[in-house]
Amino acid sequence: MDYIFKGFVEAISLLSSGHAETYSAIWVTLQVSSMSIVGSLVIGTPLGFLLGHTTFPGKAPLRVVVDTLLSFPTVVIGLLVYAFLTRRGPLGEFGLLFTLPGIAAGQIILGLPIVVAMTATAVENLDMRLKSTLLSLGAVPRQVLLTTLWEARFSVMLAAMAAYGRIVSEVGISMMVGGNIKWHTRTITTAIALETGKGEFSMGIALGIVLMLIAFAVNLSMCGIRKRVG
Query: How many H-runs (helices) and E-runs (strands) does the chain carry?
Result: 11, 0
Tens of pLDDT, residues 71-124:
889 999 999 999 999 999 999 899 999 999 999 999 999 999 999 999 999 998
Portion of the chain with pLDDT greater than 90, in percent: 52
46, 59, 117, 174, 201 from 50: Cα distances, Å: 6, 10, 11, 30, 47
Residues with Cβ < 8 Å from 140, sequence gap 6 or more? none
Which of 180-204 are b and which e, b meaning 16 or more Cβ less than 10 Å from the residue's Cβ? Answer: beeeebbbbbbbbbbbeeeebbbbb
pLDDT band at 19 (very low <50, low <70, confident <90, very high): confident
Q: Is 153 left (phi over 0), alpha (psi -120 to 50) or beta?
A: alpha
Nearest alpha carbon to residue 117 among 48, 43, 23: 48
Given this model, what pLDDT does residue 229 score?
62
pLDDT over threshold 80, residue 225? no
Judge whether residue 202 has pLDDT over 90.
no
**Domain ranges, residue 92:** 2-17+25-229
User: Residues 30-41: what's their mean pLDDT?
Assistant: 96
Indicate if the pLDDT at residue 144 is higher than 80.
yes
pLDDT tier for residue 1 given thresholds of 50, 70 and 90: low
Determine the pLDDT at residue 81.
96
Residue pair 187/173 in contact (Cβ under 8 Å)? The answer is: no
What's 114's domain CATH number? Answer: 1.10.3720.10
Round to the nearest angstrom and report the end-to-end CA distance of the chain: 45
Q: Which of 33, 25, 75, 32 lies closest to 188, judged by CA?
A: 25
pTM, two decimals, is 0.90
What pLDDT is recorded for position 145? 87
Q: Is the pLDDT of residue 157 over 70?
A: yes
The number of distinct structural domains making up the chain is: 1
pLDDT tops 80 at residue 194: yes
**Mean per-residue pLDDT of the chain:** 89
pLDDT reported for residue 3: 67
